[in-house]
Amino acid sequence: MKPGRITRTSVTRAIALSAAAAFALARGGDQEGDSILRSVDARLAPVHDYTVTLDVVADIERMNVPPMHATMYFKQPDKIHIDAEGFAMLPREGLQPSFGKLLSRFTVAGVGKDTVDGVPVKKVLLQAKSDRTFPRSLLIDVNTGRWTPERIVTTGRGDRVATITFAYVQVEGVWLASEMKADFSIAAPDSAEPELPAAPMRPPQNPRKGTVTVTFTNYRLNTGLGDDIFSKDQPGSR
């Protein structure tokens, strides 16, 4: 691919890394960590379905990515459909994952305390159970006052690090994401953070630095979405 040329695959990978890595929560042997992550999942219990508008802006080095606009439909427990304008293909599972599907991939390695912007959080460190699972580890800061992930630091192949931060809005009594921003780096995480396990050695992947920002607006909750909206997204329907 020529430098600067945009393809559907390159854009999808950039956004998928920010979203899917951001929300890849899991459980392990630590009971407190398991309880925290289950509470994050349970936050959406009052929401049977929703529709939301997505606007994506990516600033990735050596890539010229145009802004993207889409409408996402979600229905419990894990049905997702995205209508996107243009060529963009957004990662459905990362934008609103089903935590139950991810619980077997990671183990809780530790739980601690910290603050994010003056707000007390619980830090949950997760490690991949398999050498084939990426990201290799996640450090998740959870606001236990509203059970929302505030910041997530992931380690991937080589020295790739992604730091994802969130803003929220309360919609009909439920805290839902209003913005997700992922910062990609090839530098080591800040020394003040707990040490994360190194990823297995891999061939050079030509890592890129940059940011991806997803804005969520115009939530419409519990409108009674029909299953037909999601029929094309089910396994075996393509």
Residue 151's domain comprises: 8-222
pLDDT tens string 1-24: 454 444 444 455 555 555 554 444
Is residue 2 in a domain?
no
Number of domains forming the structure of the chain? 1
Is residue 155 in a domain?
yes
pLDDT tens string 81-91: 888 765 454 55
> Which runs of consecutive H residues, i.e. helices, occur in 84-196?
92-95, 99-102
pLDDT on residue 103: 65
pLDDT tens string 53-81: 999 898 887 778 788 899 999 998 888 88
Is residue 132 in a domain?
yes
Is residue 227 in a domain?
no
pLDDT on residue 7: 47
Maximum separation of any 2 CA atoms in the chain, in Å: 49
Share of the chain above pLDDT 90, in %: 30
Is residue 131 in a domain?
yes
Residue 191's CATH number: 2.50.20
pLDDT tens string 153-180: 888 776 788 888 889 999 999 999 999 8
Is residue 59 in a domain?
yes
Question: 114 has which bridge partners?
Answer: 121
Q: What is the pTM of this model?
A: 0.74
